[in-house]
């Protein structure tokens, strides 16, 4: 029997024994509203988004690197870019080769100070590769190293003030990394002229 309930008929929706605080629906609306405001901010000045897309599409190879949930979001972007036909590597994987001139390193760090990410950006820059950064901190070591920086108006994971976002530990930033990656992929896909059928054979078939 399904556990799915219809909020229009679910008697527990008004159950006074439920713990005090927002409902899941309330929280979902909060996430929607915060993401809506963030998207409005980004599309108001889209130049950096376009430069990010151009750098990815023109690179010999794309490397992605982030830690924690930001890194997971970037791995989703890496998969989509691979579906597009780009050569993509996730930094830290056993099969990831050395980065060289002509390559780009796509990074994400809310604070722009994450040591492992900044160190990778320094190495990439020293090797002659371009660094692309998604961050909430325009003045940061990562932004200083980047050729293209997309600054998202979100809180870093150590910002507990609730000013930039009511979500926990950088949640809005990590969602933004995924959204920006998906938006860039979608734009590049449509520009490429490939159909969904053209890209489908690049999906994993060993699962």
CATH code for the domain in which residue 71 is found: 3.40.50.10490
Residue 116 falls within a domain, yes or no? yes
Q: What pLDDT is stored for residue 164 in this prediction?
A: 81
Residue 15 falls within a domain, yes or no? no
Total domains, the chain: 1
Neighbours of 116 (CB within 10 A): 15
Q: Over the Cα atoms of the chain, what is R_g?
A: 19
Q: What pLDDT is stored for residue 157 in this prediction?
A: 66
pLDDT in tens, the chain (207 residues): 555 555 555 544 555 556 688 999 999 999 999 999 999 999 999 999 999 999 999 999 999 999 999 999 999 999 999 999 999 999 999 999 999 999 999 999 999 999 999 999 999 999 999 999 999 999 999 999 999 999 999 876 666 777 789 998 889 999 999 999 999 999 999 999 999 999 999 998 886
Residue 66 falls within a domain, yes or no? yes
Provide the residue range defining the domain that includes 45: 26-193
Residue 11 falls within a domain, yes or no? no
Residues catalogued as catalytic = 174
Residue 18 falls within a domain, yes or no? no
Residue 75 falls within a domain, yes or no? yes
Residue 204 falls within a domain, yes or no? no
Residue 80 falls within a domain, yes or no? yes
């Amino acid at each position: 029997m399904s556990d799915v309930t219809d909020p229009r008929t679910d008697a527990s929706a008004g159950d006074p024994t439920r713990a005090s605080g927002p409902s899941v629906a309330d929280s979902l609306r909060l996430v929607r509203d915060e993401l809506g405001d963030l998207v409005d901010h980004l599309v108001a000045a889209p130049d950096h988004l376009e430069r990010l897309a151009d750098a990815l599409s023109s690179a010999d190879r794309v490397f992605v690197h982030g830690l924690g949930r930001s890194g997971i979001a970037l791995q989703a972007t890496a998969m989509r870019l691979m579906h597009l036909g780009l050569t993509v590597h996730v930094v830290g994987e056993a099969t990831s080769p050395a980065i060289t001139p002509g390559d780009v390193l796509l990074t994400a760090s809310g604070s722009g100070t994450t040591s492992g990410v900044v160190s990778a950006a320094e190495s990439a820059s020293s090797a002659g590769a371009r660094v692309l950064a998604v961050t909430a901190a325009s003045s940061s070591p990562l932004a200083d190293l980047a050729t293209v920086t997309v600054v998202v108006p979100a809180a870093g994971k150590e910002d507990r003030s609730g000013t930039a976002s009511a979500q926990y530990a950088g949640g809005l930033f990590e969602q933004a990394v995924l959204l920006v990656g998906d938006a860039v992929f979608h734009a590049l896909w449509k520009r490429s002229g490939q159909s969904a059928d053209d890209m489908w054979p690049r999906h994993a078939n060993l699962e």
